[in-house]
Amino acid sequence: MEKLIKQNLVYKGRIVDLYNDDVLCSNGHQAKREVIRHPGGAAILIVNANKEILLITQYRYSYAEDLLEIPAGKLEKGEDPYQAALREMEEETGLKPAKLVDLGVIYPTCGYSSEIIYLYLATDFQKSHTHFDDDEDITSKWYSLTEVLNMIANGQIKDAKTIVAVYKYAFGNINNEKK
């Protein structure tokens, strides 16, 4: 276990804050730890009655490419992840879930970020309307589970939250329903 000696804020952003902290390691040595503090996010694997999965395509500036992903978004300050998932699903897909199943959490970049992504499954939903943010350009398409697994295997889907959620759905035991 490491002990914080001094927290040093380097940058305060709209989405993330960057720290370069001084810590005391368990072996008695001091070290620096660069950490991005992130409020976390919620992501939703949407599966229809035909067992097809809805993926969105969205340009990701940090990678300079369009990525295939499940819908997701960041948590607002103090926001419950379940409520964020309900909000994000409708905003990005125009589908309003009746309920979500908890798929657990992932730590997508544990070496330098505090981000936690809460994963959910939606199989019961109705049509609504999208509410894209001003800077979002999102398209969506339904794919069979086999197609999605093949796109993961061949590297077409690279997004960690999507891969984990799909694998949990395809190979896991999902029975934690929330209403």
DSSP the chain: --EEEE--EEEE-SS-EEEEEEEE-TTS-EEEEEEEE---EEEEEEE-TTSEEEEEEEEETTTTEEEEE--EEEPPTT--HHHHHHHHHHHHHSEEES-EEEEEEE-TTTTTB---EEEEEE-SEEE------TT--EEEEEEEHHHHHHHHHTTS---HHHHHHHHHHHHS----EE-
Please say if the pLDDT value at position 177 is more than 80: no
Could you tell me if 31 and 102 lie in one domain?
Answer: no
In the chain, what percentage of residues exceed pLDDT 70?
A: 96
Q: Which domain holds residue 123?
A: 41-178
Q: pLDDT tens digit string along 83-117?
A: 999 999 999 999 999 999 999 999 999 999 999 99
CB distance 85 to 120 below 8 Å: yes
Strand partners of residue 122: 46
pTM: 0.91
Q: Which residue has the tokens 């499954």?
A: 121
Could you tell me if 27 and 58 lie in one domain?
Answer: no
Say which CATH number the domain at 120 has: 3.90.79.10
Query: How far does CA 85 lie from the centroid of its chain?
Result: 10
Mean pLDDT for the chain? 94
Query: How far does CA 118 lie from the centroid of its chain?
Result: 7
Domain count, the chain: 2
Could you tell me if 96 and 134 lie in one domain?
Answer: yes
Please say if the pLDDT value at position 175 is more than 70: no
Q: pLDDT tens digit string along 123-157?
A: 999 999 888 778 878 999 999 999 999 999 999 99
d(CA 63, CA 89): 23
Query: How far does CA 167 lie from the centroid of its chain?
Result: 14
Please say if the pLDDT value at position 178 is more than 50: no
Q: Taking residues 156-179, what's their average pLDDT?
A: 83
> What integer pLDDT is reported at residue 66 of this predicted model?
96
d(CA 89, CA 70): 9
Q: List the structure tokens of 62.
A: 């940090």
Q: pLDDT tens digit string along 4-41?
A: 999 999 999 999 999 999 999 999 999 999 999 999 99
Could you tell me if 119 and 164 lie in one domain?
Answer: yes
> What integer pLDDT is reported at residue 20 of this predicted model?
98
Could you tell me if 154 and 112 lie in one domain?
Answer: yes
> What integer pLDDT is reported at residue 49 of this predicted model?
95
